[in-house]
Amino acid sequence: MANESALIARILAGETQLFHQLIRPYEKLVYVTIFAIVKNETEAEDAAQETMINAFRHLASFRGDAKFSTWLVTIAMNEARKRLRKLKAGAEDSLDDTKEESEGDYTPAVLTDWREIPLAALERKELREKLREAVAMLPEKYREVFVLRDIEELNQEETAAALGINVTLVKVRLHRARMMLQKMLVPYLKSQAPPRGGFFRRWLS
Amino acid sequence: MKVECKHVWEHISGYLDQQLDPDLLAAVQQHLETCEVCSAILDSTRNILVLTADDRTYELPVGYSERLHERLAAVLASGSSTG
């Protein structure tokens, strides 16, 4: 963005107050990226602040060949990973992530009595909560890709750059993340259609 | 080209992202037209993505922006930006 690079040049030239303006469009991006990884509001907020401070301190190392937003997400992702390691070090569980790419079950849940649910049902608040819980349960490497591609809507190349992996791996992990979510969420996505038979049987008898 | 359900499942994500090459796309599409199981998987996955992109799914904590800019202001006042 032309405005953005002008803004960055002025900040580097000493008008540091403009940094507030520079990051305003990305406040949510940074917070949500971190929150979806660390799964803790307080930690995510602090990490988001750190991210912005780091971005300010290292602004001179930003090269215009990447988008500013991608650069910022890279910093946010590193901060989130650092926090997560710290949080995990304190906890017992280490269910994660060292499994080979080929392991695991990434087939979707098969629905035998599926009916397209009305769009209105997606309005349910409970469903959004279930989605957040399901995303939080994804193994880290899948969660990272899902967050950047489907929550932040970065493209494949940007996602690959921010995570330091190649585009093929982005595709593979995204597919698996989506299939895992489909499996976890299907019980909540089904339409609550009334059982067939009762009403008409009464008519027919 | 005729494809099996399991083969279609591997391409659900690519299908949603419109990344399948034309031959595969045609085969998958043809399969979806007649297979209720696979269309249900596609629909449910698509619903998840609609929900994910909904702004209300992930919200900012109240006062987040104010606290962020307050902390930044303190940093901006004390330091300069270097490489």
Q: Which residue has the tokens 């849940």?
A: A109
The CATH number for A173's domain is 1.10.10.10
Residue A95, in any domain of the structure: no
User: Domain check: are A70 and A29 in the same one?
Assistant: yes
Q: What chain A residue is nearest to B53 in terms of C-alpha separation? A: A151
User: Domain check: are A86 and A125 in the same one?
Assistant: no
Q: Which of A69, A96, A77, A91 is nearest to A37 (CA)?
A: A77
Q: Which of A107, A118, A147, A156 is nearest to B41 (CA)?
A: A107
Per-residue model confidence as pLDDT tens digits over A27-76: 999 999 999 999 899 999 999 999 999 999 999 999 887 889 999 999 99
Residue A200, in any domain of the structure: no
What is the rounded average pLDDT of the residues A82-87? 90
- The Cα A184–Cα A180 span in angstroms is 6
Q: Which residue has the tokens 């027919």?
A: A204
Q: Is the pLDDT of residue A205 over 70?
A: no
User: Hey, what amino acid is at B37?
Assistant: V
Residue A99, in any domain of the structure: no
In sequence order, what are the residues at sequence separation of 6 or more whose Cβ sits closer than 8 angstroms to the Cβ of residue A176?
A: A104, A106, A142
- The Cα A9–Cα A139 span in angstroms is 40
Question: How many structural domains comprise chain B?
Answer: 1
CA distance B37 to chain A (A): 6
User: Domain check: are A72 and A148 in the same one?
Assistant: no
Q: Reduce the secondary structure of A74-95 to three states and give it as a string.
A: HHHHHHHHHHHHHHHHHCCCCC
Which stretches within chain A are classed as H helix? 2-12, 18-23, 27-38, 41-57, 68-90, 125-137, 140-146, 156-163, 167-189, 198-204
Which residues from chain B sit within 8 angstroms of residue A40, using beta carbons?
none
Residue A133, in any domain of the structure: yes
What is the rounded average pLDDT of the residues A158-175? 94
The CATH number for A45's domain is 1.10.1740.10
Residue-averaged pLDDT of chain A: 84
Residue A196, in any domain of the structure: no
**% of chain A at pLDDT higher than 70:** 79
Question: How many structural domains comprise chain A?
Answer: 2
Give the B window 39-78 contacts with A, CB below 8 Å. Answer: 39-41, 43-45, 47-54, 56-58, 60-61, 64-65, 67-69, 71-73, 75-76
Residue B82, in any domain of the structure: no
Residue B45, in any domain of the structure: yes
Q: What is the radius of gyration, based on Cα positions, of chain A?
A: 22
Per-residue model confidence as pLDDT tens digits over A88-133: 887 654 445 444 455 566 788 877 666 656 666 667 788 899 999 9
- The Cα A59–Cα A18 span in angstroms is 12
Which residues from chain B sit within 8 angstroms of residue A45, using beta carbons?
61, 64, 67-68
Per-residue model confidence as pLDDT tens digits over B25-81: 999 999 999 999 999 999 999 999 999 988 889 999 999 999 999 999 999 988 655
Q: Residue A195 is encoded by which pair of tokens? A: 């059982």
pLDDT of residue B77: 85
- The Cα B63–Cα B51 span in angstroms is 25
Residue A203, in any domain of the structure: no
Q: How far is CA B74 from the centre of its chain?
A: 37
Structural domain boundaries, residue B25: 5-77
* More confidently predicted of A92 and A155: A155
Residue B19, in any domain of the structure: yes
Among B48, B56, B82, beta carbon nearest to A182: B48
Structural domain boundaries, residue A54: 2-90
pLDDT of residue A100: 43
Which residues from chain B sit within 8 angstroms of residue A151, using beta carbons?
52-53, 57-58
Residue B83, in any domain of the structure: no
Residue A167, in any domain of the structure: yes
